[in-house]
Amino acid sequence: MVYPDMSADALSQAIHTKQVSCREVMHMTLQQIALQNPQSNALVSLANEDELLRQADERDAQLARNASMGWMHGMPQAMKDLSHVAGFRTSLGSPLMHNFVASEDGLMASRMKASGCIVIGKTNTPEFGLGSHTFNEVFGATRNAWNPSKTAGGSSGGAAVALAQRMLPVADGSDFMGSLRNPAGWNHIFGFRPSQGRVPMLPVQDVWISQLATEGPMGRSVKDVAMLLSVQAGYHPASPLSIAQDGSAFTAALDLNPRGQRIGWLGDLKGYLPMQSGVLDTCANALKSFESMGCDVDTAELGMDPAKVWEAWLVWRQALVGPRVAPFMLKTENHPQVKPEARWEYEQSLRLTGAQLTAASATRSQLYQHLLKLFERFDVLALPAAQVWPFDVSERWPSQINDTSMDTYHRWMEVVLYATFAGLPCISVPAGFSHDGPTQGLPMGLQLIGKPQGDFALLQLAHAYEQANLEMISLRPPGV
């Protein structure tokens, strides 16, 4: 296998054993970008090619002195356009931030750079990262790797497509309401939302309350996901709620005999979550693979009213998103340049009270306690990674699923909020493809939710699933 078909881990080994030079890797990466990116629009704010090749030469010179920076030495990397990278624009997908250039790295970028990666640009994201459809007024829409007429998902849509189309060996992303998992499922790759606090996010205005969003890894293999997590994870004193465990724990072997693992299938929560035709069947078929591996798969129930969870989620989300949008609303002339969904979040947040947030926090705590009881019976909980198949790229968001109208721009993503709200690790694994109708050939993901801080055990189970389904998982998008 040759780059760019290699896994990121195989590429790292090839670079370090000098089977391929960093310059060659950079040159082939730029060729792949030139081939794929004009249609998919996954990568934005690309750096100067001569400068990137110069940096690659520097990495080769370091290796010639036997001086490796780390696992990502010489690896081309594009950071999500919500993260700061010194010298690159952080547009947030907003016309109001189009020309903002970061003067310093965010924590994730600094850790990945310290491991030796070369930043080549940014991955496209929705405006302010809101909504699981990657489009904005600055760069336009990112198109699905499997069907360019469909959405890539989001908000890590550019990252997912760049991975699927072999423009990047591995990718970072972030996840508030499924933003690592939904685009991973829709582009047939792996997206991992780490435990709350596993990957500190800096800089941020608040380090105490704003704990729903997290950065994390995406990859074409579970090993790649684990290795990137090893670079991203680890305690930082400026993030007081970060987990006090070194990221190197995730470099250990992922081998696991899955026999006897107990998987609880939450499905559509007894009919509560509307699902487009074929989604549940595709995910249920993926669960049969776990059964063939010797796992015990059984139906599970959430244990509390999901409508109550949704109402609590709305309060928390508006309380956290509203203040993020607020600075852009200070000038009335800015308002037309802020997308309607962001304005709605801001306006809703103005009506919230401290009592509402306290009550919503109590509901969130109740959900966590219910899930702990479920984990007495199960090792992992499973749900689809999305309630619909990738929809038309020209739609803003699905207004209806079957006969059920969506009352918010993110109601159709409700299936992903449970891991987020409980702060639990969750990975989206490729589940398969739709086999009929207008959605034929589109990918779907399966969410696997792990126990509190059980990130490594969850990665091990996902790795076992990957090894049992290599033929399906190794399928490539058309033209790649």
> What's the Cα-to-Cα distance from 8 to each of 2, 56, 310, 311, 470, rounded to whole Å?
11, 16, 38, 41, 16
User: 93-129: per-residue pLDDT in tens?
Assistant: 999 999 999 999 999 999 999 999 999 999 999 999 9
Confidence at residue 412, expressed as pLDDT on a 0 to 100 scale: 98
Is residue 13's pLDDT more than 90? yes
pLDDT band at 4 (very low <50, low <70, confident <90, very high): confident
Assess contact for 106 and 213: CB atoms under 8 A.
Answer: no
Cα 326 vs. chain centroid, distance in angstroms? 25
Assess contact for 175 and 420: CB atoms under 8 A.
Answer: yes
Half-sphere exposure of 85 (CA within 13 A, CB side): 28
- Average pLDDT of span 429-436: 95
> Could you please report the per-residue DSSP string of 296-322?
EEEE---SS-HHHHHHHHHHHHHHHHH
User: 305-346: per-residue pLDDT in tens?
Assistant: 999 999 999 999 999 999 999 999 999 999 999 999 999 999
pTM above 0.95, yes or no: yes
Which residues lie across from 360 on neighbouring strands? none
**Phi/psi of residue 201, each to 5°?**
-110, 115
First to last CA, the chain: 15
pLDDT band at 1 (very low <50, low <70, confident <90, very high): low
> Could you please report the per-residue DSSP string of 256-283?
---TT-EEEE-TTTTTTS---TTHHHHH
3-state secondary structure of 339: coil
Assess contact for 256 and 463: CB atoms under 8 A.
Answer: yes
Other beta carbons within 10 angstroms of residue 194's beta carbon come to 29
In eight-state DSSP terms, residue 214 is: E
Q: b/e for 451-462, b at 16 or more Cβ within 10 A?
A: bebbbbbbbbbb
Sheet with strand 190-193: strands edge to edge: 171-175, 214-219, 190-193, 426-433, 443-449, 380-384, 262-265, 296-299
Q: How far apart are CA 233 and CA 253, in angstroms?
A: 17
Which residues lie across from 219 on neighbouring strands? 190
Token reading at 48: 């100067």
Confidence at residue 436, expressed as pLDDT on a 0 to 100 scale: 84
**Residue 310 CB-density burial (10 A; 0-12 exposed, 13-18 middle, 19+ buried):** middle
Confidence at residue 297, expressed as pLDDT on a 0 to 100 scale: 98
Token reading at 321: 């998103």
Contacts of 200 (CB under 8 A, 6+ apart): 107, 234, 235, 236, 238, 239, 242
- Average pLDDT of span 53-68: 98
pLDDT band at 347 (very low <50, low <70, confident <90, very high): very high
**Amino acid residing at 69:** M
Is residue 399's pLDDT more than 90? yes
Is residue 2's pLDDT more than 80? no
> What's the Cα-to-Cα distance from 438 to each of 147, 149, 435, rounded to whole Å?
11, 12, 9
Assess contact for 156 and 445: CB atoms under 8 A.
Answer: no
Assess contact for 170 and 218: CB atoms under 8 A.
Answer: yes
pLDDT > 70: percent of the chain: 100
User: 247-302: per-residue pLDDT in tens?
Assistant: 999 999 999 999 999 999 999 999 999 999 999 999 999 999 999 999 999 999 99
- Average pLDDT of span 352-366: 97
Domains and CATH numbers, the chain: 8-473 (3.90.1300.10)
- Average pLDDT of span 142-169: 98
Residues in the chain: 480
Confidence at residue 318, expressed as pLDDT on a 0 to 100 scale: 96
Q: How far apart are CA 451 and CA 191, in angstroms?
A: 17
Token reading at 292: 């063939």
In eight-state DSSP terms, residue 149 is: T
Confidence at residue 211, expressed as pLDDT on a 0 to 100 scale: 86
Q: Mean pLDDT across the chain, nearest whole number?
A: 97
Q: How far apart are CA 171 and CA 158, in angstroms?
A: 10
Q: How far apart are CA 357 and CA 117, in angstroms?
A: 41
Is residue 134's pLDDT more than 90? yes
